Amino acid sequence: MKIYVAGYQHETNTFAPTKADWAAFNRGESFPAFIKGQPMLDSLRDVNIPIAGFMEVARLERWQLLPGSWCGAIPSAHVTRDAFERISDSILTDIRVGGFDVVYLDLHGAAVAEHLDDTEGELIARIRAIVGPNLPIVASLDLHANVTHRMLAQADALASYRTYPHVDMAKTGELAAKLLKRRLQRGKKESLAYRRLPYLIPLNAQSTWLEPAKSRYAELADLDREFDTVLSFCMAFPASDIEECAPMVWGYGDRAEAAVQRLYKNVSEPTQWALEMLSARDAVERACLLGETNEKPVVIADTQDNPGAGGDSNTTGLLRALLEKGAGKRLPGKVALGLLFDSATATMAHEAGLGATITTAIGTAVPTFTGQPSDPPVQGSFKVKALSDGKVTLKGPMMTGSTIALGPCALLEIEGVLVAVASGKKQLLDRELFRMLGVHPETMKVLVVKSSNHFRADFTPIASHILVAKAAGPMAADPADLPWTKLAKTTRTRP
């Protein structure tokens, strides 16, 4: 059997300040850069992403893979029209050539373009128009996909991640392959059932390392065994201003309707999704007090500047709070923040050299969903403690084996606080992103990470406590704070 495989990954925060142009899909920051043909299969085979899991099943089943193209860009505002159409044209050109029996797509599910609210649904529909109604189209999705009716209608089967942080990305590719085998055995589409939740779930409440999500996904697996189904529950990306932004439960199988109803009943009770969040100053004060009495570090999530959710990783609210609270003096050399995106400062540090002191302003005041800018840059004298070329291979559970390139990076010290500055944007979800600059997270007392939940996979094992902080930034921790214009009137912004 011959299977055409391709991928397209973007999570769109329509309220964010920066769009994803064609260059964003070619930088190789958070995802491998645009790649096509056999090199795609060779380079992605051992990375924890869905297409790698699908490839492994294909090897065991002796399916022949026909590689198309694969690309991803770090979460941001809209994908530009030019970028999406280039990506679509690359895939559709291959599809028109034909010569395959199945299409497999490695998609995110929450990509919004300047001219299309549902780019994945549009891409699947364009492929369907070429291959006809009978050729199977199977896709894997992120847990944060905003699953649309069009996606469900046009594809034969969709499978989503079941963990957040996403440590099961390759396993989701395997799950998509399982759905494909079920589809082929039956010779037609399986029965589909689905229900959409009537409210948005904040990102910080979605972690499957915490309750209630931990138990809800365990129940999902139990229901699959009981009903012989393949269920998915996407908690959605609650910063995409489209009509169909909302969590979705769906499943395939002869008893899918009963399984979906049971799962929906469990996940839809609204009060279970509450989560405590602190102001920047309160989070730092609590972290310092805890750091003085605990051997393991306290981790603070700078959730509203998460570059994995559309932030630019450059706001200074948490850095200012660290300085105002004297964190570096209370715990000298044991407080670190990262990654702060500031290519000009990183370049200046490289030019000055190791051990030099540079006087500059770091960080950026950016527009936020409140209508007010974030905190201004921090002006001061910074000592250059370490330098790096920004090339690093990740070793944590999420993107094991993935090599990223962030350009010139520097570790700067101000008033005892260490700041990891990068020339590229990357959510701090892996300890190697600190280690590349000589910061060993296990030895620290307070770590501030620009992330919402993905950091938990690699940092929870070393943390004494984890705090979630709200400093001014472009990614609203509470969806109710966003100025929605397209969201369905039946969907509440709070559970």
Residue 36: CATH number of its domain: 3.40.50.2300
User: Does residue 485 lie in a domain region?
Assistant: no
Please give the residue range of the domain that contains residue 109: 2-273
* 143: pLDDT strictly greater than 90: yes
3-state secondary structure of 9: strand
DSSP character at residue 455 = T
Q: Does residue 469 share a domain with residue 405?
A: yes
Q: Does residue 294 share a domain with residue 250?
A: no
What percentage of the chain exceeds 70 in pLDDT?
100
Predicted TM-score of the model (pTM): 0.88
Rounded mean pLDDT of 310-323? 96
Q: Given pLDDT bands bounded at 50, 70 and 90, which one contains residue 402?
A: confident
Q: Do 138 and 130 touch, CB atoms closer than 8 A?
A: no
Q: What is the reported pLDDT for 102?
A: 98
Residues 6+ apart with CB under 8 A from 251: 192, 193, 194, 224, 227, 229, 230, 231, 232, 259, 260, 263
Q: Does residue 374 share a domain with residue 320?
A: yes
Domain-ending residue, one of 250, 273, 296: 273
User: Does residue 491 lie in a domain region?
Assistant: no
CA distance 337 to 283: 14
* 268: pLDDT strictly greater than 80: yes
* Mean pLDDT lowest among 42-46, 456-460, 461-465: 42-46
CB-based burial label for 480 (10 Å; 0-12, 13-18, 19+)? middle
Rounded mean pLDDT of 141-164? 98
* 274: pLDDT strictly greater than 90: no
Q: Does residue 287 share a domain with residue 415?
A: yes
User: Does residue 493 lie in a domain region?
Assistant: no
Q: What is the reported pLDDT for 449?
A: 98
Rounded mean pLDDT of 78-87? 98
Q: Does residue 465 share a domain with residue 330?
A: yes
Helix (H) and strand (E) counts for the chain?
Answer: 14, 20
| Beta pairing class for 64-72 and 35-36 | antiparallel
Q: Does residue 220 share a domain with residue 115?
A: yes
* 399: pLDDT strictly greater than 80: yes
Q: Does residue 283 share a domain with residue 198?
A: no
Q: What is the reported pLDDT for 255?
A: 98
Domain-ending residue, one of 273, 295, 313: 273
403 or 81: whose pLDDT is higher? Answer: 81
Q: Does residue 112 share a domain with residue 228?
A: yes
> Cβ of 326: how many Cβ atoms within 10 Å?
15
Residue entry with tokens 């090599």: 403
What percentage of the chain exceeds 90 in pLDDT?
93
Q: Given pLDDT bands bounded at 50, 70 and 90, which one contains residue 31?
A: confident
DSSP character at residue 329 = H
- What mean pLDDT, rounded, does the chain reach? 96
User: Does residue 383 lie in a domain region?
Assistant: yes
User: Does residue 489 lie in a domain region?
Assistant: no
User: Does residue 486 lie in a domain region?
Assistant: no
Give the CA distances from residue 421 to residues 50, 346, 380, 443, in Å, rounded to whole numbers and listed in that order. Answer: 30, 6, 15, 20
| Beta pairing class for 2-9 and 102-107 | parallel
Q: What is the reported pLDDT for 287?
A: 98
Q: Does residue 242 share a domain with residue 332?
A: no
Q: Given pLDDT bands bounded at 50, 70 and 90, which one contains residue 60?
A: very high
User: Does residue 57 lie in a domain region?
Assistant: yes
Phi-psi region of 225 (alpha: psi -120 to 50; beta: other; left: phi over 0): alpha
CA distance 366 to 297: 29
Q: Given pLDDT bands bounded at 50, 70 and 90, which one contains residue 69?
A: very high
* 484: pLDDT strictly greater than 90: yes
Residues 6+ apart with CB under 8 A from 346: 407, 408, 409, 410, 421, 422, 423
Q: Does residue 356 share a domain with residue 232?
A: no
User: Number of folded domains in the chain?
Assistant: 2
Rounded mean pLDDT of 231-249? 98
User: Does residue 356 lie in a domain region?
Assistant: yes
Q: Does residue 393 share a domain with residue 409?
A: yes
Residues 6+ apart with CB under 8 A from 191: 252, 253, 254, 256, 257
Give which of 390, 396, 383, 382 is closest to 339, Cα–Cα.
390
Phi, psi dihedral angles at 247 (to 5 degrees)? -65, 150
Angle between helix 280-291 and 317-324 (nearest 10): 50
Q: Given pLDDT bands bounded at 50, 70 and 90, which one contains residue 400?
A: confident
Q: Given pLDDT bands bounded at 50, 70 and 90, which one contains residue 189?
A: very high
Q: Does residue 366 share a domain with residue 458?
A: yes
Q: What is the reported pLDDT for 370?
A: 86
End-to-end CA distance of the chain: 45
